[in-house]
Structure 1
Amino acid sequence: MISKKIDKYTFYTPEWQNYLNQLKGTISQSTYLPKYHLYPKTGLMNDPNGLSYYNGKYHIFYQWFPFDSFHGMKHWGHATSEDLVTFKDEGFALIPNEEYEKNGAYSGNAFEYSNELYLFYTANYKTNTGKLAKQALAIMDKKGTIKKYPKNPIINGAPKGFSQELRDPFVFERNDSFYMLLGGSRFVAEERASFGDIGELLLYKSNNLFDWTYQGVIDLPINKGYMLECPSLITLDGKDVLFLSPMGYEKERYRYQNRFSSIYLIGQLDVEKRIFELEHVDELDAGFDYYAPQSFYGKNQLPLTFGWFGCGEQVYPIDTEGWKHGLTTAQEIRLVNGKFRRFPSQEVQNKFINKQTVITKQLNLEAPYYHLQFELNKEQESTIYFGTKDDFWQLNLDEKKETVTIERSNLAKKIDIEYGMKRTCKIAELSTIIIVDVFVDNSFIELYLNKGERVFSFRVFLESKQTTISFSKEINVTWALFE
């Protein structure tokens, strides 16, 4: 990596361009880059932001510290795509160079209005005594020009009794009015310059997208931790599906095993009564590396989501390369018999066209970009190994405990040891025959049970680019390389 001391509150100015060009060239030689996942050309990428289909193409904005592989001053990066598989790097969308955002342009969403794309975001503003909550707006026209609203911030401060950790605006329209969801944290006892005691989802209302009035908190009959982040809302088959990323969940044996987790709620949101009538709630992903998903409507109003392929402060063996994290594949989301599912978009699936089916105990693949599909019987113990004898990750099905476990303790390049080497989910509610889909994109892995009934998203850094997949017994396997 290029040697240059980077302050965490550095924001982009033109004099940094030569450095970024050199860093980009160095990173392009990494042996762990993906082909069909969006990743940062330099620096660290985290939350997906402003996801939208606008003016004939997909727009994927994201949290970005472009200078190094640690969490620093957040900019908005921007990529566009016509097929959700190949992405054009559009560079900087938002640079935090105004006083009201002097500590970063944090997460938010996009809302199309009057042929323009309104980008709502949290303006991070710190003082000697703590943060001041500010929400801001920028507007993109059809030429791709982005201008910040001259009267920013559009919301200044948090309501009384709430922490200034108020962020991640998600704007939507309902009943001929505009509404904004904000993740927040409420104090129960004394107020202080930090998080509150209970996570809350705050609701604001507007008739013009510029002037917002606080309505109150939404009643959520769930464990809200001490902070709610990254709300997003979408309607599937007449049901509201709400994504949240709560902080402060206690680790359970088979759920919430990461430092931070993301959940979905199915039900109905009543914006007048500020109640979410809950039918079902569950964790979105059981893997090591998933957080802050955002839902949106794609082409022809197709419900989609991207998530951050990462989680909190993680330690990867390639951190010295100057790039970190990425986003998941674009995933179609739907309800099947009332149950939530997410699975790679059809465009992603279409890139694996030359499928072959074999009955084997061992499969050797020449490149680390592939899709694998096979079936497991949940009443029979199974183990599958991916890699070489000295460097592998594995999938274990335990028929007695009715669990599936992903284990990466046998990798040569260890990952984030502090937070454990295994992730496990229950499969008691799944059908006896479980369809397993594994999408491997070099160091990015997405593993789906029953087309998204359970999902594991995680990173591995195998040293060999030729993969051996070993099954505990002969099995019928369909596979294809990415093309």
Structure 2
Amino acid sequence: MQFKQFEKYTYIQPQHHLYLEELKHFVSKSKYLPRYHIYPKCGLMNDPNGLAYFNNQYHVFYQWFPFEPNHGMKHWGHCVSDDLVNWKEEDVALIPDQEYEKNGCYSGNAIEKDEILHLFYTANYKLENGKIPKQALAYMDKDGHITKEMTNPVIDGAPAKMTGEIRDPFVFEKNGEYYMLLGGKTQEEEGALLVYKSHNLIDWQYVGELDLSINTGYMIECPGYIEVDGKDVLMLSVMGLEKEELKYQNQFTSLYLIGTLDLEHLKFHIETMDEIDNGFDFYAPQVFYGKDKAPMMLSWFGCGEQRLISDKDMWKHGLTMPHILKISDHRLCNYISDDINKAFNNHHQFEDTKTLTESNTYHIQFDLSKQGNEWVRFGDENDYWEFSIDFDKNVMTLDRSHLHHLFDQDNGLIRQCEALNKEEYKVDIYVDNSFVEIFVNEGSRSFMMRCFNLHEMKHEIRFKYKAVGTIDYFNK
């Protein structure tokens, strides 16, 4: 296929449709594509946006630059599902074709009101010497028709002492009022979380900055709020946290805060705080309520600027599976729902030091313990990754330094975090070709990772000692 060159701030127009269909066909031949993760049919995908269970379907919108696997003019892509497993691509949801969004439709969330899904987003508007922050609104009815608010932007400009770096609206209802959280950067180059209030989702009043009493780096992005098991939970994506031995090892960090949100006094009272994920490729999580008001989360399966071997196939990144949220032992746990697990069958048990899978899309479950196996390796001796637990030091390690195809080396090839002071751990690993999700003790710890040794159909899995476990294969 002959690839075309596009200016960075090009948005989709009718003359591009044929080329994009050809590009999607080219991408469909890539040997690194997943089967049960959401991925871009062409171009680059990053933050999940506008997550909702609306009109008896799950809706996932996402940041999308369709023309090439690089960051460019961001549109909102859109896909839907009845079961969280089979996703159908819809027409592009938001195209940045208005003056106030001339540099892209950036991230935001969704809220339902009067049987209309309200889509909030940042209208990216750049000047030669900076940005003017603008927040915009669009509507989707039950037939899937999307229109933009005529009075956009619904918020124009920045409060005093703030820079133009304000973005990613997250709107929710609490105590009979609508509130919007916005990530931002102060003129002192510190991360800030701004609060706005509205009675009708159109007219917004600035309330102030939420007191978090934590290190907020130099920028907060992609804030989120959700209630889980009777507790308030804030989600923050933070830029500029200094790396520690067992914390904040990615280029950018996503945190959860469990506690109480006091909107009257603009204070979040923290009971527990930690990283949401401890793997390599996780950022910009967004939370929402799924079917039966289940608290859920999806995240970008990437972090920062990365060059991947799949770039040559003209697609980049993807999203995690939808995760269910719960609080256990004062921690926010994220794990895979039964609806998704039902898509895995052909149940096989193994009891050996080594096993060979039948495909490259599967769910494997086993234990690691102080009295038994402390590590597991996926791949052959010359091309593998390893997950291990040091029970004496109480440290979990994910190591992809032994892979043949290395990437993102500048940000390190090993991730470590504090373990949970247990003598035995239940480990669930979901492999979807080049996408790997690891959950320990039902998501008390989780690790998201991309790797590119696992595109062959059969995978060798090795343990230090004889292991007992199960493998279920994806079969949709």
Deviation at 1:394, TM superposition (A): 1.3
Match of 1:269 among 261, 274, 279: 261
Q: For residue 100 of structure 1, what is the aligned residue in structure 2?
A: 100
Choose 333-342 or 46-55, whichever is displaced more: 333-342
Task: Give, as a single letter, the amino acid of the residue that structure 1 aligns with 2:422.
Answer: S
* Structure 2 CA distance for aligned equivalents of residues 53 and 375 of structure 1: 34
SS at match of 1:106: coil
* Structure 2 CA distance for aligned equivalents of residues 206 and 217 of structure 1: 16
Q: For residue 160 of structure 2, what is the aligned residue in structure 1?
A: 160
The verdict on how the C-alpha distance between 1:279 and 1:17 changes in structure 2, with shifts beyond 3 A counting, is: same
Choose 213-222 or 383-392, whichever is displaced more: 383-392
- TM-score, normalized by length of structure 2? 0.98
Structure 2 residue 132 is the aligned partner of structure 1 residue 132: yes
Q: For residue 316 of structure 1, what is the aligned residue in structure 2?
A: 308
Choose 253-262 or 401-410, whichever is displaced more: 401-410
| Contact 1:379–1:399 under 8 Å retained in 2 | no
* Structure 2 CA distance for aligned equivalents of residues 442 and 17 of structure 1: 29
Match of 1:210 among 183, 199, 202: 202
* Structure 1 CA distance for aligned equivalents of residues 375 and 37 of structure 2: 27
Q: For residue 425 of structure 1, what is the aligned residue in structure 2?
A: 417
Match of 1:305 among 274, 297, 300: 297
| Contact 2:394–2:421 under 8 Å retained in 1 | no
Task: Give, as a single letter, the amino acid of the residue that structure 1 aligns with 2:5.
Answer: K
Q: For residue 386 of structure 2, what is the aligned residue in structure 1?
A: 394
Q: For residue 69 of structure 1, what is the aligned residue in structure 2?
A: 69
* Structure 2 residue runs without a partner (length 5+): none
Q: For residue 452 of structure 2, what is the aligned residue in structure 1?
A: 461
* Structure 2 CA distance for aligned equivalents of residues 8 and 346 of structure 1: 41
Structure 2 residue 431 is the aligned partner of structure 1 residue 440: yes
| Contact 1:376–1:433 under 8 Å retained in 2 | yes
Q: For residue 334 of structure 2, what is the aligned residue in structure 1?
A: 342
* Structure 2 CA distance for aligned equivalents of residues 380 and 255 of structure 1: 27
Task: Give, as a single letter, the amino acid of the residue that structure 2 aligns with 1:62.
Answer: Y
Q: For residue 190 of structure 2, what is the aligned residue in structure 1?
A: 198
* Structure 1 residue runs without a partner (length 5+): 189-196
| Contact 1:170–1:231 under 8 Å retained in 2 | yes
Structure 2 residue 450 is the aligned partner of structure 1 residue 476: no
Deviation at 1:381, TM superposition (A): 6.4
* Structure 1 CA distance for aligned equivalents of residues 304 and 171 of structure 2: 25
Residue deviations 1:81-122 (CA, integer Å, cap 9, x gap):
000011000030000000000000000000100110000000
Deviation at 1:349, TM superposition (A): 1.1
| Contact 1:69–1:323 under 8 Å retained in 2 | yes
* Structure 1 CA distance for aligned equivalents of residues 442 and 344 of structure 2: 16
* Structure 2 CA distance for aligned equivalents of residues 26 and 381 of structure 1: 43
SS at match of 1:76: strand
Report the aligned-residue RMSD.
1.1
Q: For residue 194 of structure 1, what is the aligned residue in structure 2?
A: none
Residue deviations 1:270-317 (CA, integer Å, cap 9, x gap):
111111011010001111100000110011111111000000101111
1:115-130 superposed matches below 5 A? 115-130=115-130
* Structure 2 CA distance for aligned equivalents of residues 275 and 60 of structure 1: 31
Q: For residue 193 of structure 1, what is the aligned residue in structure 2?
A: none
Choose 384-393 or 358-367, whichever is displaced more: 384-393
Task: Give, as a single letter, the amino acid of the residue that structure 2 aligns with 1:88.
Answer: K
Task: Give, as a single letter, the amino acid of the residue that structure 2 aligns with 1:250.
Answer: E
Q: For residue 34 of structure 1, what is the aligned residue in structure 2?
A: 34
Residue deviations 1:30-68 (CA, integer Å, cap 9, x gap):
111111100000100000000000011011000000111
Residue deviations 1:165-221 (CA, integer Å, cap 9, x gap):
000000011111111000011123xxxxxxxx1111000001111000000000102
Deviation at 1:397, TM superposition (A): 2.2
| Contact 2:255–2:276 under 8 Å retained in 1 | yes
| Contact 2:373–2:467 under 8 Å retained in 1 | no
Q: For residue 252 of structure 2, what is the aligned residue in structure 1?
A: 260
Deviation at 1:475, TM superposition (A): 0.9
Residue deviations 1:110-167 (CA, integer Å, cap 9, x gap):
0100110000000000111211000000001111000000100000001011011000
* Structure 1 CA distance for aligned equivalents of residues 464 and 318 of structure 2: 32
| Contact 1:116–1:141 under 8 Å retained in 2 | yes
Residue deviations 1:403-449 (CA, integer Å, cap 9, x gap):
1211111212112122111111111x342110011000000000011
**What percentage of residue pairs aligned between the two structures are identical?**
49
* Structure 2 CA distance for aligned equivalents of residues 2 and 226 of structure 1: 42
| Contact 1:378–1:434 under 8 Å retained in 2 | no
* Structure 1 CA distance for aligned equivalents of residues 430 and 373 of structure 2: 22
| Contact 1:2–1:23 under 8 Å retained in 2 | no
Paired residue total: 474
SS at match of 1:17: helix
* Structure 2 CA distance for aligned equivalents of residues 60 and 240 of structure 1: 23
| Contact 2:300–2:318 under 8 Å retained in 1 | yes
* Structure 1 CA distance for aligned equivalents of residues 421 and 23 of structure 2: 46
Match of 2:363 among 363, 367, 371: 371
* Structure 2 CA distance for aligned equivalents of residues 225 and 311 of structure 1: 16
* Structure 1 CA distance for aligned equivalents of residues 375 and 237 of structure 2: 32
SS at match of 2:164: coil
Task: Give, as a single letter, the amino acid of the residue that structure 2 aligns with 1:294.
Answer: Q
| Contact 1:51–1:59 under 8 Å retained in 2 | yes
Match of 2:375 among 365, 376, 383: 383
Deviation at 1:399, TM superposition (A): 2.7
Q: For residue 56 of structure 2, what is the aligned residue in structure 1?
A: 56
The verdict on how the C-alpha distance between 1:10 and 1:57 changes in structure 2, with shifts beyond 3 A counting, is: same
Q: For residue 244 of structure 1, what is the aligned residue in structure 2?
A: 236
Q: For residue 184 of structure 2, what is the aligned residue in structure 1?
A: 184
Q: For residue 192 of structure 1, what is the aligned residue in structure 2?
A: none
| Contact 1:380–1:398 under 8 Å retained in 2 | no
* Structure 2 CA distance for aligned equivalents of residues 120 and 378 of structure 1: 49
1:2-21 superposed matches below 5 A? 2-21=2-21
Task: Give, as a single letter, the amino acid of the residue that structure 1 aligns with 2:218.
Answer: Y
| Contact 2:272–2:330 under 8 Å retained in 1 | no
* Structure 2 CA distance for aligned equivalents of residues 345 and 336 of structure 1: 16
- TM-score, normalized by length of structure 1? 0.96
* Structure 1 CA distance for aligned equivalents of residues 108 and 312 of structure 2: 29
| Contact 1:360–1:477 under 8 Å retained in 2 | no
| Contact 1:304–1:331 under 8 Å retained in 2 | yes
